Structure 1
């Protein structure tokens, strides 16, 4: 219980700077970074206009993620999962807002993940599995980008998620892929039912990829 409460509090505090990062990166391709500093209520500090995600949405997401990590994540995985949660939160909200996963976020996520995998598990065999899973998911989503309605940003995000999932074994990798598609399908059905999307509406897949990875890793930690 203490771990969940502590994680929720730290996640809530982290949500404030992460909201600013979302506002900075949630711009169309080629546009300059956003300059407004948003409050947790979604208003620009300088001008007062509405900017970024809905009020307290980022903070609620980080608090929930922090609580989940504090309650269920193994200690040796925490540095990697915290890194994934921090950048993943920004990526998820940016993708939901402008349907893109910028290189300025996916590249640091990959480099940090590669650096933190050895800290999460000292076994070289696990490192090899993580590298193979990163390559496999990267190739899979690259094929999706060329032959299915999916973006290159998803393909650039996939190697980081594959490497993280492989910490829990190949079963976690397969489970992560399953959760990704199930969450994406449920979200699409919900939007259709609420008439907020049509059959040809472009939907962001990044949030489902990130949340599916988190669910699969937490499940693997307790097998």
Structure 2
């Protein structure tokens, strides 16, 4: 079984794709494909479909993330039309983080997005996100699954055994850039369960998060339980590439 490294790109919050291109150029040495977030953590960003098209134009493989939080049905249909025009055909559908201001504006959810995209084109490849909890039946109909970021191989293996599926499954791995980042993330996602020992190391060692994430990626690969990893390098993508070079 081949093991794929899907690297998440930090999408631009300004109309400038230079930083995106630099991330792609750097990570393409280890990444098999790239995930493009959608209005990352409630901030407006350049369209994930547009950035996915940029990845494809640079010779990479892309997955455009679309959240249900920020769009109604007509807006979602517009995104599917735009993607088809650009040749973008892989998507990850998510519910979306809580917006930083205002309320959710959509009556869409992951189930309805999958149904609508299936009706729009049988050629689209559709993924769904999954927490470390029982997998809903409708998500089992997705073409692939991205499991939430975790810092425990044992928890991932327990989830995998309890939720057998016949589609590719990618385990989430996040780089913690700093102690502040780790504590903020723990406050936003209470069930993410960041080890206290790692948070303490981050206070004195700026590379601790990179090293822990890369070790976690390789341990997941060596377990043979997953088809790949969804790696979120945040701003530390150069360090991640140097640590994983030669392993992929």
TM, length-normalised to structure 1: 0.30
| Larger strand proportion of the pair | 2
- Scaled by the length of structure 2, the TM-score of the pair is 0.28
